[in-house]
Structure 1
Amino acid sequence: MVRSIKNPKKAKRKNKKGDESSSSSSIPSMPTKVWQPGVDKLGEEEELECDPTAYNSLHAFHIGWPCLSFDVVRDSLGLLRTDFPHTVYFVAGTQAEKPDWNSIGIFKVSNVSGKQRELVPSKTTAGDSDMDTDNSDSDEDSDDEEEGGSATPVLQLRKVAHRGCINRIRAMTQNPHICASWSDAGYVQIWDFSTHLNALAESETEVPRGGSSVFNQAPLFNFKGHKDEGYAIDWSPRVAGRLVTGDCKNCIHLWEPTSGATWNVDATPFTGHTASVEDLQWSSTEDHVFASCSVDGHIAIWDARLGKSPAIYFKAHNADVNVISWNRLASVMLASGSDDGTFSIRDLRLLSPKSQEEDKSLVAHFQYHKHPITSIEWSPHEASTLAVSSSDNQLT
């Protein structure tokens, strides 16, 4: 983000009579400065402006109502796609003004263009610098053509009616067309979006402005056993169809898939937290082990084979723990984000089942963000890289 003067009229202009170089429409240029969140303060006449050159690819779409949650739907186009243009499928749930106005969107964005940058700039000699300067304009033009920079991305969308706002939505890892949604009405539903995904895969027609028609579709399964609404939900990466869901009444329910596209949900919840369960994450190496975080400031590690109480329960932050992420490449690492803007990384091998013992698992603790952490996720390709988003409007 860069800073600019909000109202250029405040900058007084002086035009000398007879000065042909001056113009009444000219605006004095103001220096561009990088804005540092939490460090810099905006002046009364300043506002933030996005600098597109900071991004390899940046495109915006208007889809109607805001969405609190989305999830990328795995496709069959390949795992390591580095060359533009790109195609991505994802699902998102709306937060509409009235319950009946909500829907789940199944999206396809194709022809996503951008610029391919070198991670480490190549070194040039002094003689090459003049040549580079002379050819800079032509290089910039060719970059757009080579990387599809002048092309327009295509958004395709199909909507499925959903009563109530969608707090969280997740696509199953093994069968991405199967999605689970948490409603603010207090129930969890399982959906089969294969028809919509197939239709999007075969179509290249862009969605006209104003959206698309809404399909009325019955869910595969509907669970109303939670005592309150919730946000925590996660599919097992190891056992297809296995699911855990957590609510604002401190309860966690385990779902087991059965034949006939249905589920058995254990009516007896896992209990141990003293406040709302905010997020859940399955282990990437153990079929029956998962982690949870809560408004009570604690993280719990559960083993479904050992009963309904946590195997390990420890204080993770001094405020609400909003989100957690279990590293899929380094399975001993767990990251967590808090309401106080901090996020931490822990080595699960150093956790003790005895709560009274000193917690030695903390590997790193970051205090960069100034507002609540809203999402945290490890990279699926680099074990030491993670992304963190915050209410301070930053993604780091």
Structure 2
Amino acid sequence: MVRSLKNPKKAKRKNKGSKKGEGSSSSSAPSVAAKVWQPGVDKLEEGEELQCDPSAYNTLHAFHIGWPCLSFDVLRDSLGLVRTEFPHTVYCVAGTQAERASWNSIGIFKILNISGKRRELVPNKANGDGSDMDSESSDSDEDDEEHGGGSGSPILQLRKVSHEGGVNRIRAMRQNPHICASWADTGHVQVWDFGSHLNALIESDREAIHGGSTVFNQAPLVKFSGHKDEGYAIDWSPLVAGRLVSGDCKNCIHLWEPASDSTWNIDPNPFVGHTASVEDLQWSPTEPYVFASCSVDGNVAIWDIRLGKSPAVSIKAHKADVNVITWNSLASCMLASGSDDGSFSIRDLRLLKEGDSVVAHFEYHKHPITSIEWSPHEASTLAVSSSDNQLTIWDLSLERDEEEEAEFKAQTKEQVNAPTDLPPQLLFVHQGQKDLKEVHWHSQIPGMVISTAADGFNILMPSNIEMALPANDASSM
């Protein structure tokens, strides 16, 4: 249940993670060979420091929008359903956790000219051929010709809207990305229309419009005060535009049904089935009346809004708090959950009647799981973030192949001492962010992951992740 991000200080990133088997922890003494750093296992000796292996990434950029952000969402855009060529442009919305309640805002931002380079899995040189993108903002220290696909550094364009209290979680409607819902630590759920701000960003040219000093005052479309406590759980239906559920720390879930373009009918009678705080909510990707919830009580519940206010199914999912869940949009029988004890599990919902629906369980992380999300492009792949300052990417279809591993080591000529006890499904480990809180895939840029932490955002594209082309359609702003 670890969620707080009340840390206004910005820490400059000094190290980043790396591709499995190719990261490095190097000493200032040139005679010491590089090796992969394992958090919780390895210790830095005097004179040693962590260094990023740039060959592990197709792109890697860091930036911040002011105060730390506990939650954000990636906005669907009209720039193309599948974008594979650099430079890239992305739109996001994020809510702050400021030092004072009155200083909070929602940031609507655009990052353009995200440059990068597709890399070979087996580098031609010992240190790879890439750029060091270790920067506090969106700036790169390398010449853009080194990483290709653009001219100059990424450009951040930002507009801010005042928000009463810290933003616990924020989500954009899939069908209408300019409509966003925010959970405030004041106990209110609000729905906003950021259409004018998005239009301003869309129409802006390549000049940075850092709106750091300008905070727009805007009234929300709806401000719901029916919850008895603050909360973190909220989700828009991917199938019914405007349908929303919100859950609070007092175990209550409220259903929102759209009445028009700017009004909602909110059921005052909550769904109650958990005995403790509702931590996360996820609508089914295929059933318009079905959603899932998880709770501090250790349970995951499946609900059908046509069947009353009690869950259709309740599962004891973890021994500790269940912090986050994600429902696979490409394999709708699969639901993943992450726990406070650092473990995460994958369940096949078709096996619920048989009792044991767990098809995979991992205990790699030793600190609470803070975010988990299935890839929108590959059914077997998911991203996980943890309080251990690691962002990991997993491919459940992978199995250990000793012959293939031997061949890879021969090709790389043992350039890095890779650990041998990592799970074969662990595809990528990214480090360097402090107190990771949330991770999202970009639904229109295969392989792109964005994460938020106490010291800002990262945009990364691991070089060993080749995504299939998505079959779903895109909405326009």
Which residue in 1 is equivalent to 2:93?
Answer: 91
Residue 145 of structure 1, CA deviation: 6.9
Letter of the aligned partner of 1:341 in structure 2? G
Distance 1:207 1:169 in 2: 23
**Residues 350 and 32 (structure 1), Cα distance of their counterparts in 2 relative to 1, 3 Å cut:** same
Distance 1:361 1:330 in 2: 15
Letter of the aligned partner of 2:367 in structure 1? H
Whether the 8 Å CA contact 1:4–1:46 is kept in 2: the answer is yes
Which residue in 1 is equivalent to 2:135?
Answer: none
Which residue in 2 is equivalent to 1:202?
Answer: 203
Whether the 8 Å CA contact 1:158–1:212 is kept in 2: the answer is no
Whether the 8 Å CA contact 1:38–1:369 is kept in 2: the answer is no
Q: CA offsets per residue over residues 246-300 of structure 1, 9 Å max, x none?
A: 0000000000000251001100000010110000000011111000000000000
Whether the 8 Å CA contact 1:115–1:143 is kept in 2: the answer is no
Distance 1:391 1:240 in 2: 34
Residue 239 of structure 2 corresponds to residue 243 of structure 1: no
Name the SS of the counterpart of 1:199 in structure 2: helix
Q: Match for 1:52 among 54, 68, 73?
A: 54
Which residue in 2 is equivalent to 1:18?
Answer: none
Name the SS of the counterpart of 2:198 in structure 1: helix
Letter of the aligned partner of 1:86 in structure 2? H
Distance 1:195 1:151 in 2: 28
Which residue in 2 is equivalent to 1:158?
Answer: 159
Letter of the aligned partner of 2:108 in structure 1? I
Distance 2:67 2:324 in 1: 24
Letter of the aligned partner of 2:80 in structure 1? G
Q: Structure 2 matches for 1:162-201, cutoff 5 A?
A: 162-201=163-202
Letter of the aligned partner of 1:363 in structure 2? V
Residue 25 of structure 2 corresponds to residue 3 of structure 1: yes
Whether the 8 Å CA contact 2:57–2:119 is kept in 1: the answer is no
Q: CA offsets per residue over residues 118-159 of structure 1, 9 Å max, x none?
A: 4x659xxxxxx9xx99xx99xx989637422x5211100000
Which residue in 1 is equivalent to 2:361?
Answer: 365
Whether the 8 Å CA contact 1:338–1:372 is kept in 2: the answer is yes
Letter of the aligned partner of 2:95 in structure 1? G
Which residue in 1 is equivalent to 2:8?
Answer: none
**Residues 29 and 200 (structure 1), Cα distance of their counterparts in 2 relative to 1, 3 Å cut:** farther
Q: Structure 2 matches for 1:308-323, cutoff 5 A?
A: 308-323=309-324
Q: Structure 2 matches for 1:1-396, cutoff 5 A?
A: 1=17, 2-4=24-26, 30-43=32-45, 45-118=47-120, 144=146, 146-148=148-150, 151-204=152-205, 205-208=207-210, 211-352=212-353, 359-396=355-392
Whether the 8 Å CA contact 2:161–2:217 is kept in 1: the answer is yes
**Which stretch has the larger CA shift, 36-45 or 311-320?**
36-45
Distance 2:278 2:147 in 1: 49
Letter of the aligned partner of 1:284 in structure 2? P
Residue 45 of structure 1, CA deviation: 4.8
CA root-mean-square deviation: 2.3
Distance 1:29 1:92 in 2: 45
Which residue in 2 is equivalent to 1:20?
Answer: none
**Which stretch has the larger CA shift, 45-54 or 256-265?**
45-54
Where does the alignment leave 5 or more consecutive residues of structure 1 unmatched? 9-26, 123-128, 353-357
Whether the 8 Å CA contact 1:157–1:212 is kept in 2: the answer is no
**Residues 202 and 301 (structure 1), Cα distance of their counterparts in 2 relative to 1, 3 Å cut:** same
Letter of the aligned partner of 1:392 in structure 2? D
Whether the 8 Å CA contact 1:116–1:147 is kept in 2: the answer is no
TM-score by length of 2: 0.71
Distance 1:389 1:332 in 2: 23
Distance 1:316 1:44 in 2: 43
Instruction: Give the number of the structure whose alpha-carbon radius of gyration is greater.
Output: 1
Letter of the aligned partner of 2:97 in structure 1? Q
Residue 29 of structure 1, CA deviation: 6.1
Whether the 8 Å CA contact 1:325–1:376 is kept in 2: the answer is yes
Q: CA offsets per residue over residues 351-394 of structure 1, 9 Å max, x none?
A: 13xxxxx7321100011111111100001011111111111111
Identity %: 74
Whether the 8 Å CA contact 2:283–2:327 is kept in 1: the answer is yes
Whether the 8 Å CA contact 1:336–1:345 is kept in 2: the answer is yes
TM-score by length of 1: 0.85
Name the SS of the counterpart of 2:199 in structure 1: helix
Distance 2:371 2:215 in 1: 29
Q: CA offsets per residue over residues 223-247 of structure 1, 9 Å max, x none?
A: 0000000000000000000000000
Distance 1:52 1:151 in 2: 18
Distance 2:341 2:328 in 1: 22
Name the SS of the counterpart of 1:64 in structure 2: coil
- Structure with bigger RCO (C-alpha 8 Å, 6+ apart): 2
